Amino acid sequence: MNLRPIIALYEPDIPQNTAAIIRTCACLGTKLEIIEPCGFFLNDKRFKRVVMDYMDLNKIKFYQSADQFFERKKKQRIILMTTKASISYTKFKFKLNDTILFGRESAGVPENIHQLIKNRLKIPMENNMRSLNVASSVAIVLAESFRQNSII
């Protein structure tokens, strides 16, 4: 069995970022899960321009809602990446089957979702910076998870 972390996106709203994450996941053999609704359509030309031929709908799982996502994941470990966390992703021990959740570009995840997830991590940044691009954040955290678990 080819165990790797799973990347999950909460209601993504920028098509180019989601497309770049799909490419990253495809190239690294990682599953992607998307919690709907998305803030765009998959036929959006901005999305198609970035995703190119990396889109394989068989490797992307869509959830109709956060409730459906959490119901399906109740026996799995979910890690939330958030600027509101106090623990750095480099101080955390990732496991092969973790689901790493990233919030919406415009608003993160709602407070009730923060409360559902025990493991909340951040990527340390310079003071007075709001956040990294979500596609960059996915690549950074995925690389650390791979390194810790000797995947690459």
Distance CA 124, CA 54 (A): 30
Backbone angles phi and psi of 104, in degrees to 5: -65, 145
SS3 58: helix
Half-sphere exposure of 144 (CA within 13 A, CB side): 17
Backbone angles phi and psi of 15, in degrees to 5: -60, -40
Cβ atoms within 10 A of the Cβ of 90, count?
Answer: 13
- What's the CATH fold of domain 6-148? Alpha/beta knot (3.40.1280)
- Segments making up each domain of the chain, as ranges: 6-148
pLDDT in tens, 18-47: 989 998 998 899 999 999 998 766 666 766
pLDDT in tens, 40-90: 666 667 666 656 565 666 678 999 999 999 999 999 999 999 999 999 999
pLDDT for residue 103: 95
